[in-house]
Amino acid sequence: MIATSTLVSFAKRASIEPELKMAHNLHKMSSLLGGALFIADDVFPQTSYLHAAWHLAAALGVSTCNKLLE
């Protein structure tokens, strides 16, 4: 629930403040990619580096939240 409300508030601020648009798009794409990689990690547990890729996508998504706090 917290992640959804953060994404909604990020989207609202990005529509008002154009300088946040790029950070919001990066956050949105990394969230979608992270979700897909998370599922793929469960479906294909023997595939190398899927878990690491999921962590990288999640870290990228979290790092864009700093732009929202500025």
Neighbours of 66 (CB within 10 A): 9
Total domains, the chain:
1
Six token digits for residue 59: 């870290």
Between these two residues, 67 and 61, which has the higher pLDDT value? Answer: 61
Q: Is the pLDDT of residue 41 over 80?
A: yes
Q: Is the pLDDT of residue 1 over 70?
A: no
Nearest-angstrom CA–CA distance, 32 and 15: 20
Q: Residue 28 sits in which domain range?
A: 2-69
Q: Is the pLDDT of residue 2 over 60?
A: no
User: Confidence band (pLDDT; 50, 70, 90) for 19?
Assistant: confident
For the residues 48-59, what does the mean pLDDT come to?
91
Q: Is the pLDDT of residue 49 over 80?
A: yes
